[in-house]
Amino acid sequence: MIIRWGVAINVHEKLDDTIRIAKKLDAVGIDRLWVVDFPSPRFAPAVADVVASCTEAKIGIGLLSAILYDAETIGGFIETLSDYHGNRFDVLIGPGDQSALRSIGQETWIPKEVVETTLGTTVRVRNLLQEKGIEGHVWLGAQGPRMIDASREAHGVLLNYSDPMMIEWALKQIRERDGTHQTGVFFPSYIVSELADEPPNEFLYAAAIVALGAPSKIIKDMALWGISEARGAYNRKGKLNSAVIQAFGTCSLLRWGVFTTAEGVIEYANNLDKIGIDEIVFGPPISQFENSLENLMAAFKKSKKARNQ
């Protein structure tokens, strides 16, 4: 098995920058471009259409929130894009980021209902695409054990973890997997020239968002008690700020994203390949930083050369 590399675009950058980044990544042969929406300032399917018009890359869309979009709408997105650009689109479905949804007026968040809605939408989209003969995969975005296990109903799962021990924990939550089920990871990322560099605030804040969403089971199983203190700081302030980052501490947050060198990321990818991960997705804030993106592309080219030998 050869692990695939994907990169998230359409985060906070302008559309012209998204197109420029997509072209650069396509030129080095990146395995997949993920056009994100959690929700994003720009409508992800429309951006995916533009990106598909100027690249030949495979494209993933999402995370699309099942709170915002029903199955017929998501299926329609993929069908329309596939009609124009061919079978090169996957979709990632999940609940979405709670704070981001709140910022656009989606206040209601009942965990049981959110899980049921997300799973129902995922299965329905998979069935709709199959009925239409569309080859795109439907991924479920997951962090908690119930959602991870339920990903058996999708084509695959993108786990919101980066730490190898946490990833192995997550894989154990899937009770039975057939040979076609795909597993991937989606994480905050920043690739540096040398480890003497400090992680930027954008990386720390992205990692903190992921950590704040950690389910109680992994906190208990892996004794991640520092998350409780950070959540207390977050709840007191009602927003993510420097006090929450300090409550976590930089060392703790480095477990919730990938902050390493080009050489380090090749080794990281190889290690995840060995434990059965099919795809790694480098998420925000990497697309916001030109140097970091260049370091990632250098790592990918070197890794690609090695795997083609």
Name the nearest CA neighbour of 201 among 307, 82, 288.
288
Q: Looking at the predicted structure, is the pLDDT value of residue 151 above 80?
A: yes
DSSP line for 242-296: HHHHHHH-HHHHGGGSEEEEHHHHHHHHHHHHHTT--EEEEETTGGG-HHHHHHH
Of 37-51, 119-133, 252-266, the one with minimum mean pLDDT is: 37-51
Q: Supply the DSSP symbol for 86.
A: -
Q: What is the pTM of this model?
A: 0.93
- Asked if the model's pLDDT at residue 229 lies above 90, the reply is no
* Partners of residue 187 on adjacent β-strands: 282
What is d(CA 178, CA 206) in angstroms, rounded to the nearest whole number?
33
Mean pLDDT for the chain overall: 91
196-200's contacts with Cβ under 8 Å and 24+ in sequence apart are 199/250, 199/253, 199/254, 199/259, 200/285, 200/289
Mean pLDDT of 154-159: 96
Residue 103 has pLDDT above 80, yes or no: no
Model confidence over 134-143: pLDDT tens digits? 999 999 999 9
Nearest of 68, 38, 51 to residue 188 by alpha carbon:
38
Could you identify the residue written with the tokens 């056009």?
Answer: 35
Q: Give residue 93's pLDDT band: very low, low, confident or very high (50, 70, 90).
A: very high
Beta strand pairing call for 279-283 and 258-261: unpaired
Kindly write down the DSSP assignment for every residue of 101-155, as one continuous string: HHHTT-----HHHHHHHHHHHHHHHHHHHHHHT----EEEEE-SHHHHHHGGGSS
State the DSSP string of 182-227.
EEEEEEEEEEESSTTSPPPHHHHHHHHHHHHT--HHHHHHTT-THH
- The per-residue pLDDT for range 36-86, each reduced to its tens digit, is 986 566 789 999 999 999 999 999 998 998 888 999 999 999 999 999 999
- What pLDDT, on the 0 to 100 scale, is given for residue 192? 96
Local structure of residue 160 (DSSP, 8 states): S
End-to-end CA distance of the chain: 15
Cα separation, 229 vs 215, in Å, equals 15
Give the H or E element holding residue 83: helix 71-85
Grade residue 2 by pLDDT with cuts at 50, 70 and 90: confident
At the topology level of CATH, where does 4-189+259-308 sit? TIM Barrel (3.20.20)
Q: How far apart are CA 177 and CA 171, in angstroms?
A: 10
